[in-house]
Amino acid sequence: MRLYRKIIPKIAREIVRTLHSKAEIEVEDGRMDEAELDLAAVMVEYMNEEERLVTETKETMARRGFSQDRFSQVKKSLAEARGFKQGDDGIEFVLDQMLEALFSSKNVAEVYADDKHLRLFMKSVFEKYTG
């Protein structure tokens, strides 16, 4: 998964505004930007955690004197120890969190679409920007 900070607002905006325009969610009046920020926060937190993992991987490699060719192996090991999802599992994790954010957001008054439909739509938007 190639998620970059600069595309996070675009992903959140497209998801919230499209779902709202299709009447699949109802957003409180004047709260569209805040609803977008709720979804963006999920993606930002995932990226922050990934950056912490990369930093820890580099520190671990330096302490143990590992060469750079072991980076992926060490990162994978640390991610598993933390329960941090990467790759396809990472996408699924972020989608789960974004779905929860929609339902728990104070800025989203109502969600009319079912979970499966929302998930498929969000995944298609996510892949459009990260694929």
101 neighbors 41 (Cβ within 8 angstroms): yes
pLDDT confidence band for 1 (50 / 70 / 90): low
Whole-structure pTM over 0.75, yes or no? Answer: yes
- Written as one letter, the residue type at 99 is L
- Written as one letter, the residue type at 131 is G
Reported as type and span, the H/E element at residue 90 is helix 87-104
pLDDT in tens, 99-126: 999 999 999 999 999 999 999 999 999 9
pLDDT in tens, 50-95: 999 999 999 999 999 999 999 999 999 999 999 999 988 998 999 9
